[in-house]
A and B are shown apart, each in its own frame.
Chain A
Amino acid sequence: MIAMTEYIIETENLVKHYRDVVALNSLNMRVKKGIHGFIGPNGAGKTTTIKILLNHIFPTAGNAYVFGYDVVKDTQKIRQRVGVLLERFSIPGDMTAISYLEFVARLYELPTQEAKHRIRGLLDLLELSNAASREFGTFSAGMKRKLGFAAALISNPELVILDEPTANIDPASRMKIREVIRDYYKEFGTSFFISSHILTELERICNTYSIIHQGTIIGEGTLEELKGKTSKSTYQIRVSDTRKLIDFLSTKEYVDELYEDEQIVTVIINDAETFQNDLFCFLSSEKLQLRLFHSIDDNLENIFKYLIEEKRA
């Protein structure tokens, strides 16, 4: 066990094999307090990592710690401090929302009044009050996710692990969930570890990210830090003669992708410095007028794309 660590989640050379398939390949990840996004393509090992953190499956090799506790040996200590919403959240169909939340509240040994207060509060907050006495089997997919989210928050945990929290949820409820996550972080200091495919959504709430690819972390940190890990950049340019610009750029080796849309040329390059020098020399020699020039790299989706492409290459 690691005593007193600054990281809420930490993995050391984590390996998981499913027979011949390598799901995790020496995964090293460090997550600090805050709202953390865990992203990766399908089959990258996101769910496997979460399963190991929750002790649902056991690592083939390596170690994982939550709050410094070993996930295999100190499962109970971790579970008491962690709220979880799984991707496949399911409870018996004849259980009502309120009875499930009561059941969860009791397991966390919440005082009676406090539990009542929180159940009512969360049901109101997530607009489930009208369905409080309805059976789970009658819930829509979105309502089920919201109930799972409420259950994850009921104990006011230090860390909430969310696997695809906004899947099947309408836009208004998504906004609500984002708002709740931000509020809990600000008000109670609750950390969130969110695995999601909706990168634009993660970008709006997360402070830090981990990008996983083929069972290995290929990028970790804030958006700025991630940006520094890739040599690729995307620029949008508009000049007085688009044709000339395209002809010029299409001959350059540092250009990976190039396309034009309504006279705006979007270019993905792998050497930003050479590109900028070349471009400005070209513009002055050809006496072209520069109308638009800006980088669109502070976009999680692009950074994610670059890192994955670089890793594949």
Chain B
Amino acid sequence: MSRRLRRKISFFFICLILVVGYSLRLGGTGGTVGRGDMFPHELRYDMHLATAGTRIYVNISASDNIEIYFMNYTQFLRFYTSNFSEVSYLYHYEGKKIETIIQVPYTGVFYFIINNTNDKEVIIHESIIVEYWNYVYIPFLALFSIIVILIILYDYLGINRIIKTLKRYFQSKAKNKIHSNYKFNKKSNRISILLKQQMYSAFTYYNILALSLLILIIIGGFTLIESSSVSPVDINEYIRSELRRQLYEFLIYSLPLYSIGFSTLLATSLFSNEYEKGYLAVQLSLPIERKELFFTKILVGMVFLLVPYIIVPATVIATNTYTEVPKAKEMAFMTIPYMVVYSLFLFGVCVLINIILKRSTQSALFSFTVLTFLNVYLIIFPSYEFLEFINPFEAFYTVLVGILEYVEKDKIPISIYRLYFSIGYIVFSLLVVYVLSYQIFKKQDIT
């Protein structure tokens, strides 16, 4: 392994540390909701921004039976716009005294709802909702840190020289020691050669992610500062809570903008670096088939794609081994098929494009761009709830609901931020698609 490759790997793990570190911090918000009298059929809700694996302690006692729901943003929207019988949710409890721990299955914004189903008033005696710090990421953080530290030690503190000296000592009897730095694998076929090369290049792309993650961390820091200033005894609690809600909404709805921006950056890097026309032409002048190039790129993309998804369900499952949280394991497993289906869908799109445009190498470029989008979305934001935001139908739905809200004031809880961001998201997405398509299709040939 060359020093350059080690450097790339360490950078990759630094990026992962940033992601995981950010996830760790996002577990640490908390508060109370709904103490006091509740009118007949009254609903109260609180919003939580939490990462996968975060545990939320819930302790509510009331004078009569009440219902509590824990749901994601989309479910929350539908909850307000459809009948109760059609409501879907992540967790649901009912009773006078509810004490439980909920585990957040994926990263995103969640709503905690208390519903008084009775025809009379109900007194909420106690209502405590605490989000634990998301400690489950610590082992991963430690593991990645160790890898980076080992690489740094190896490269910069002379350990590589010690190992090389030892190697040389043990190889001293070898006949051809002068050429020992050249090792070709006779058995390797073109696919494995290409895979190795693609993996090497793929690490480069991750470097761009560092920039995006830094921005996210800065925003995350602001969130934490803001949320830590909320105190239950503060006389301005309500105002602050409302501000917090607005900030969360701002964050969650700006995520697609970030990701589209970073995807564009990444796609640009594809065009300007490895997949610039010159190198693509060089590769396609060697004994490499277009489909091999395409296949290996997709495969490498899928491997990198899997990294965060090994972490996220694993953390939830790992947590569940020492906390008996209802449904947590099922939730964690639920994310896996969702991701696989989603990946396969995009993979299918890439293949389809390749088949339709097989008469030119631009199809390969286009496929790589689609894959890059997929990678960035899923690596930065390991949340299947988030994927609903990148679905244009959801964005249109949000806009529609926003218009309804405008017409029938106060009936539907859509903030102006949500509306603006959804409209902005649609416009920006269309713009990015147009710009990228233009970039790809403006020239007929690759060389």
Contact = CB atoms under 8 A, between A and B. Distances in A.
8 contacts: A51-B447, A55-B284, A57-B446, A88-B281, A88-B447, A92-B204, A93-B273, A106-B185
B445 A56 contact: yes
A54 B284 contact: yes
B281 A116 contact: no
A76 interface: yes
B447 A76 contact: no
Given A57-B360, A107-B190, A92 B286 contact: no
B139 interface: no
A51 B281 CA distance: 9
Interface stretch (B124-132, B176-184, B393-401, B429-437): B176-184
B278 interface: yes
A112 B289 contact: no
B196 to A, nearest CB: 9
Given A76-B287, A90-B282, 13 more contacts: A18-B444, A51-B445, A54-B281, A56-B361, A57-B446, A57-B447, A75-B289, A79-B286, A94-B4, A107-B287, A111-B184, A112-B184, A116-B182
Contacts of A148: 282
B445 A107 contact: no
B207 to A, nearest CB: 11
Contact of B447 (A58, A86, A115, A119): A86
Contacts of A108: 286-287
Contacts of B204: 92, 94
B287 A115 contact: no
Given A51-B447, A90-B282, A107-B193, A112 B183 contact: yes
Interface of B: 2, 4, 179, 182-186, 188, 190, 193, 197, 201, 204, 273-274, 276-279, 281-282, 284-289, 359-361, 444-447
Nearest to A111: B186
Which of B273, B276, B282 has the most CB atoms of chain A within a 10 A radius of its CB?
A: B282
Contacts of B288: 79, 107
Given A79-B285, A86-B282, A112-B184, A92 B193 contact: no
Nearest to B189: A109
B281 A86 contact: yes
A86 B279 contact: no
Interface string A199-228: 000000000000000000000000000000
Given A51-B447, A58-B359, A94-B204, A89 B282 contact: yes
A80 interface: yes
Given A94-B204, A116-B182, A104 B278 contact: no
B182 A112 contact: yes
B157 to A, nearest CB: 22
A296 interface: no
A181 B294 CA distance: 34
A105 interface: yes
A76 B289 contact: yes
Interface string A79-120: 110001010111111100001001111111011110110010
Contacts of B279: 90-92
Nearest to A135: B4
Contacts of B201: 92
B284 A56 contact: yes
Contacts, number: 90
A125 B284 CA distance: 26
Contacts of B4: 94
Contacts of B444: 18-19, 57
Task: Give the size range of A's interface with the partner.
Answer: 35 or more
Nearest to A72: B359
Which residue, of B278, B360, B446, B447, has the highest number of chain A Cβ atoms within 10 A? Answer: B447
A181 B66 CA distance: 88
Contacts of B274: 92
Contacts of B276: 90
A56 B287 contact: no
Contacts of B284: 54-56
B291 to A, nearest CB: 11
Contacts of B190: 107
A54 B285 contact: yes
B447 A89 contact: no
A58 B284 CA distance: 14
A90 B193 contact: no
A140 B179 CA distance: 28
Nearest to A133: B2
Contacts of A104: 286
A102 B188 CA distance: 13
Given A54-B284, A56-B445, A75-B289, A115 B278 contact: no
A56 B446 contact: yes
A9 B201 CA distance: 35
Given A86-B281, A90-B276, A108-B287, A115 B445 contact: no
A227 B75 CA distance: 83
Contacts of A105: 184
Nearest to A86: B281
Most buried by B among A55, A57, A108: A57
Contact of A88 (B2, B182, B193, B277): B277
A80 B190 CA distance: 12
Given A86-B282, A92-B279, A94-B204, A57 B445 contact: yes
Contacts of A84: 285-286
Nearest to A163: B447
Contacts of A107: 190, 193, 286-288
B197 A103 contact: yes
A278 B284 CA distance: 59
B182 A91 contact: no
B278 A89 contact: yes
A8 B204 CA distance: 41
Interface string A221-250: 000000000000000000000000000000
B179 to A, nearest CB: 5
B146 to A, nearest CB: 26
A79 B282 contact: no
A2 B2 CA distance: 46
A79 B288 CA distance: 8
B292 to A, nearest CB: 10
Considering the complex of A and B, which 5 residue pairs feature the smallest CB-CB distances, nearest first?
A: A90-B278, A84-B285, A112-B184, A88-B278, A79-B287
